[in-house]
Amino acid sequence: MKKRLRTVAITAALLIMALGSGFIFAVYHGYVHINGPAAARYPVRGVDVSHYQGDIDWQVLAGQQIRFAYIKATEGSSYTDELFAVNCQKALETDLDVGAYHFFSFDSPGTAQAEHFINTVKPFKNLMAPVVDVEFYGDKKENPPDPGQVETELNNYLEKVELAFGQTPVIYATREAWELYIRGKFDAYPLWIRDIWKEPKLKSDTEKGREYDWTFWQYTNRGRLEGFSGEEAFMDLNVFYGTWEEWLSFTGRIEN
């Protein structure tokens, strides 16, 4: 009897290990998304891309249940994504709502970064509100820049971009960057939060604790979509917090 129970226990343990390994494999390779069930509740979905996705067939990409695409335009005060212009032009030829984003540098003045972004993006019309990506890079997570200095430079960037485009910029942030640089300082700007492990709590959800008022949520960085072939095998997937009607209002297609 004991031998039989031990055999059953070993078999069960091996089965659990196999299932666990299979789940980890599926998550790592983008076949399963941890946040998939939560993200499925939001009807407006989209992607963000850069040159890492390589050549994109925008007609194919647009036909895969997504509504919007944000394209990397610039970084710092001088770098321009090599595929921004072609990506933007081709994306605008689809039915997608299209926007541009800037990767914020902690090593350049905010005004210089804003001027670079404005000069790069201005030639393209009918874009959604611009996005600034605030996250750690290089050794910045281990050696974070001074919050007061970042606040000053980011403020300079946001004010100049908002004036140039006549649209309130969206701030994209990882949780770590949000905690240190954004929280309580830039609440007037729509938030795009990255959390690939769990659904962000809403600020109004008092039972679970006050945390975010988010407009976009990047729920995975391992989206498997067709239509691109670059050094990056996956694509970031995002959702908009709101209904289709609220999306139309956000993009300016209908008035509030």
- Write out pLDDT tens, residues 72-101: 999 999 999 999 999 999 999 999 999 999
How many domains is the chain built from?
2
169 and 240 belong to one structural domain: yes
pLDDT band of 222, cuts 50, 70, 90 = confident
Q: What is the pLDDT of residues 171-210, one digit of tens each?
A: 999 999 999 999 999 999 999 999 999 988 766 554 444 4
Query: What's the CA gap between 109 and 94, in Å, rounded?
Result: 35
52 and 28 belong to one structural domain: no
Asked, for residue 256, whether it belongs to a domain, the answer is no
26 and 48 belong to one structural domain: no
> For strand 45-49 and strand 68-75, is the pairing parallel, antiparallel, or unpaired?
parallel
Least Cα distance to 241 among 179, 176, 190, 196 occurs for 190
24 and 151 belong to one structural domain: no
Dihedral of alpha carbons 227, 233, 234, 235, sign: negative
Residue 232's domain is classified under what CATH number? 3.20.20.80
27 and 48 belong to one structural domain: no
9 and 98 belong to one structural domain: no
64 and 22 belong to one structural domain: no
19-23, 55-59, 128-132, 154-158: lowest mean pLDDT where?
19-23
Model confidence at 22: pLDDT above 60: no
Query: What's the CA gap between 16 and 18, in Å, rounded?
Result: 5
69 and 183 belong to one structural domain: yes
What is the mean predicted confidence (pLDDT) over 34-53?
Answer: 92
What is the mean predicted confidence (pLDDT) over 17-23?
Answer: 48
Query: What's the CA gap between 186 and 171, in Å, rounded?
Result: 9
User: Which residue is it, tokens 């647009």?
Assistant: 62
Q: What is the pLDDT of residues 142-153, one digit of tens each?
A: 999 999 999 999
The single-letter code of the amino acid at 241 is: Y
The single-letter code of the amino acid at 202 is: L
- Residue 40 burial (CB count, 10 A): 12
24 and 47 belong to one structural domain: no
117 and 12 belong to one structural domain: no
234: Cβ contacts below 8 Å, ≥ 6 apart:
30, 221, 222, 223, 224
Q: What is the pLDDT of residues 102-131, one digit of tens each?
A: 999 999 999 999 999 999 999 999 999 999
What is the mean predicted confidence (pLDDT) over 130-137?
Answer: 98
Q: Domain range spanning residue 2?
A: 1-32
What is the mean predicted confidence (pLDDT) over 158-168?
Answer: 98
Asked, for residue 38, whether it belongs to a domain, the answer is no
pLDDT band of 169, cuts 50, 70, 90 = very high
What is the mean predicted confidence (pLDDT) over 48-53?
Answer: 96
